[in-house]
Amino acid sequence: MSDKIYRAAAIGRTGKGNYGHGLHLAYKGIENVEFIAVADPDENGREKAKLETGAKRSYSDYREMLKKEELDIVSVCPRWVNCHLEMILACIEAGCHIYSEKPLAMTLKDGDKMMTAADKVGIKIAVAHQGVYLPGIQKIKTMLKEGRIGIVQSVYAHGKQDRRGGGEDMIVLGTHLFNMMRYLFGDVDWMYAHVTTEGHEITPEDVHEPTEPVGLVAGDCINSYFSFKSGVSGFFDSRKDQIGGSQRYGMDIVGSEGIISLRGGTASDVHIYPYPLWIPGNPDQKWEKLEIDNTPLQSGNQIAIIDLIESIENDKKPISSGRDALAALEMILGAYESQITGQRVYIPMKNRKHPLKEFTA
């Protein structure tokens, strides 16, 4: 790493997505980063963020901040994604590398615009899918590569399945799972999905805004299948109001010689079943807890910034890049495209608009 001191800032929107999952705090403790400014149209929220970050200055308009300050990295923090395109394009125009809250964009078309603009001027975009940055997930990836459970055959990802089960669960939390599935198993070739509301196929009347404003969603039950180019079969399920929702979130990775079960998305609760065939009735075959570094999810933000700086200096892709986030969004919107058309959806999707918006038109 060079001796350069990176000048950082954050854009928030108090009351309209706020500062995401602490993206404005991602720079604390990083020696070669100087945190310069925050921008937020809400005065109280702006002053609070300034105090939390130790920023030298604050602005009500992020455009003014980008114009007046000489910045290297900007966190685009709001969880409400309807502002991301405008903010990210403004950061790119100002020559700033970006750490963005997820999901990256409202539509694939918006994401394409971001990536085209960034690639044109050599800007790096990293996205806050914090899980893949954590040491525990890195260790699981190494274990899979080393053949700890043999040849990976399938992965079963599960949403949290609380009151948000279905479409909202898929966009708010599923994006982490899809990004992690791709991180571990590579690109998706094609997918298929079944989306229902109260047991019936979704209709235009079932499309709605979620409680977390991230665009249109539909369905209280979603089952998706993914055919990965690596030969792995992927599955995702989410159903509303299931008992034990907090324990459902995670994934099960099935190999020819065993199973790894990950709960929570941070490798905080990982077990291995080191046998080629799961036989619940065999008392001699038991799940074993894997002792893996239990780094908190919030630490992923700091690791992401360190990785982003390394990506800038070595001209490499961030661990969770803008294109990776766009591919995760494609797995989400592809579920609706498949349900609406009744067909397989090949990746990359031809339809770059939001399938539900067209469905309700």
How would residue 207 be classed by pLDDT, with cut points 50, 70 and 90?
Answer: very high
How many separate domains does the chain show? 2
Distance, CA of 290 to CA of 320 (rounded, Å) = 25
Say if residue 226's pLDDT is above 80.
yes
> What one-character-per-residue DSSP string does 113-134 give?
HHHHHHHHHT--EEE--GGGGS
- CA-CA distance, 110 to 89, in Å (whole number)? 10
Is 70 within a domain?
yes
Is 234 part of any domain? yes
Question: Is residue 294 pLDDT above 80, yes or no?
Answer: no
**Residues 152, 81: one domain?**
no
Whether residue 169 sits in one domain with residue 103: no
Whether residue 246 contacts residue 165, with contact meaning beta carbons closer than 8 Å, is answered with no
Q: In terms of domains, do 290 and 312 share one? A: no
Residue 1 is predicted with a pLDDT of 65
Q: Tell me, yes or no, whether 150 lies in a domain.
A: yes
Q: 299-326 pLDDT, tens per residue? A: 899 999 999 999 999 999 999 999 999 9
Domain assignment of residue 39, yes or no: yes
Structure tokens at 46: 């702006």
Is the pLDDT at 297 greater than 90? The verdict is no
Residue 68 has pLDDT above 90, yes or no: yes
Residues of the chain by 3-state class (helix, strand, coil), percent to 5 = 35, 25, 40
Residues 68-84 have a mean pLDDT of 97
Q: What is the mean pLDDT of residues 129-134?
A: 94
The number of beta carbons lying within 10 Å of the beta carbon of residue 156 is 16
Query: How many CB atoms are located within 10 Å of the residue 237 CB?
Result: 19
> Scanning the structure block, which residue is given the tokens 């990004």?
179
Looking at residues 233-250, what average pLDDT do you find?
91
* Range with top average pLDDT, 1-5, 240-244, 324-328: 324-328
pLDDT band at 257 (very low <50, low <70, confident <90, very high): very high
79 and 223 co-located in one domain: no
- Residues of the chain with pLDDT > 70, as a percent, come to 98
Q: What Cα–Cα distance (Å) separates residue 84 from each residue in 102, 211, 273, 314?
A: 10, 18, 42, 26
Residue-range definition of the domain harbouring residue 307: 6-129+299-320
Q: What is the CATH number of the domain that holds 22?
A: 3.40.50.720
pLDDT of residue 32: 96
pLDDT at position 75: 98
Q: What angle do CA 298, 168, 354 make, to 5 degrees?
A: 110
- pLDDT tens readout for residues 17-49: 999 999 999 999 999 999 999 999 999 999 999
Helix (H/G/I), strand (E/B), else coil: 194? strand
Q: Within this chain, do residues 198 and 342 fall inside the same structural domain, yes or no?
A: yes
Residue 142 pLDDT greater than 80, yes or no = yes
In-domain check, residue 80: yes
Count, in order, helices (H) and strands (E) of the chain: 11, 16
**105 and 19 co-located in one domain:** yes
Q: Are residues 216 and 149 in the same domain?
A: yes
The CATH number of residue 154's host domain is 3.30.360.10
**Domain co-membership, 178 together with 285:** yes
| pLDDT at residue 292, rounded to an integer | 82
Asked whether residue 166 falls in the same domain as residue 288, the answer is yes
State the average pLDDT over residues 248-276: 91
> In the structure, what pLDDT confidence band is assigned to residue 245 with cuts at 50, 70 and 90?
low
For the cut 90, the answer to whether the pLDDT of residue 184 exceeds it is yes
193 and 54 fall within a common domain = no
Q: 224 and 114: one domain?
A: no
The answer to whether position 46 is within a domain reads yes
1 located within any domain: no
Residue 196's nearest CA partner among 253, 238, 252 is: 238
Q: Does residue 277 lie within any of the structural domains? A: yes
Type and span of the H or E element at 37: strand 33-39
Domain co-membership, 215 together with 66? no
Q: Tokens 């805004």 — which residue? A: 209
